[in-house]
Structure 1
Amino acid sequence: MFPARVRARASASRPASERGSAVVEFVLVGTLLLFLFLGVIQVGVVLHIRNTLAADAAEGARHAANLNMADDSGGPYAEKLIASSIPGRADTRCTSAATTNASGVPLVEVRCEVAVPLTVLPGGARTTISVVGHAVKETP
């Protein structure tokens, strides 16, 4: 593609001490890009789990807020939903209780938390995600 004279000039213009430095730079930059890519994936996984957890906690609160349901039935219902939505999350804990808001409206509150492994960090680090779901309690 290039005449031999141009190729010879390009290789002759580099000092001998810099030969092979492209490989080292590629490895260093590639490692940084790999960790950046894995970090973005980890943030996406944590946000997906958090959003699914929040939706299931709110659904558990709506379940417990129905007229003939006990206030504490929302926690186990939310745990069942989480088990079917996010497989492998056996360490999920959900509780529900009756409460009122600032205006005195009766509510059902479901609190859920789950431990999520951080796969990018070495040593099996984990973080705990906690969410709260509310629903207005039906009254006769």
Structure 2
Amino acid sequence: MVSVLVVVIGMGVLQLALVLHVRNTLVSCASEGALLGARLGAQPGEGAARTRDLAQRSLAAAYSQDVTQTTVTTPDGVQVVEVTVVAPLPVLGLLGPSGSLTVHGRAFLESQR
């Protein structure tokens, strides 16, 4: 009986580690894409394309399906490039039913001085 409990707790810890790995990887990809999209002379959508490429290389193609890039203005008047990734949240390993996970990456728009 104790061994079953240990296995269930161990599987729960592994599942949590997988979800955190996917989340942290997507945050890193979105941040890198935002940095590329915010540089001086960058083309519209360049950051989103970079984020898609990084997510496909790091995780799988399913995690890079819904990537958007927008330029937003903060309440202080500062413009930032924001890359948003909506990806499936792995519930049973990398397979199985899942919810969704939304992460954002932001970078200061270099064209403003």
Q: Give the alignment's TM-score, normalised by structure 2.
A: 0.87
User: Is it true that 1:136 corresponds to 2:108 in the alignment?
Assistant: yes
Please say if residues 65 and 71 of structure 1, whose CA atoms lie closer than 8 Å, have aligned partners that are also in contact.
no
Q: Which residue of 2 aligns with 1:58?
A: 31
Please say if residues 71 and 98 of structure 1, whose CA atoms lie closer than 8 Å, have aligned partners that are also in contact.
no
Q: Give the alignment's TM-score, normalised by structure 1.
A: 0.72
Match of 1:72 among 45, 70, 73: 45
Q: Which amino acid aligns with 1:36?
A: I
Match of 1:47 among 11, 15, 20: 20
How far apart are 1:91 and its partner, in Å?
A: 4.3
Give the greater-gyration-radius structure (CA).
1
Please say if residues 55 and 63 of structure 2, whose CA atoms lie closer than 8 Å, have aligned partners that are also in contact.
no
Please say if residues 89 and 114 of structure 1, whose CA atoms lie closer than 8 Å, have aligned partners that are also in contact.
no
- In the aligned structure 2, how far is the partner of 1:96 from the partner of 1:127? 22
Matched residue SS, 1:46: helix
How far apart are 1:139 and its partner, in Å?
A: 1.2
How far apart are 1:30 and its partner, in Å?
A: 1.4
Runs of 4+ in structure 1 over 4 Å off: none
User: Is it true that 1:30 corresponds to 2:16 in the alignment?
Assistant: no
Higher relative contact order by CA 8 Å / sep ≥ 6: 1 or 2? Answer: 2
- In the aligned structure 2, how far is the partner of 1:91 from the partner of 1:59? 16
Q: Where in structure 1 are there 5+ consecutive unaligned residues? A: 1-27
Q: Which residue of 2 aligns with 1:112?
A: 85
Percent identity between matched residues is 32
1:10-67 per-position Cα deviation (integer Å, ceiling 9, x unaligned)? xxxxxxxxxxxxxxxxxx2211211110000000010011011001101100000011
Matched residue SS, 1:68: coil
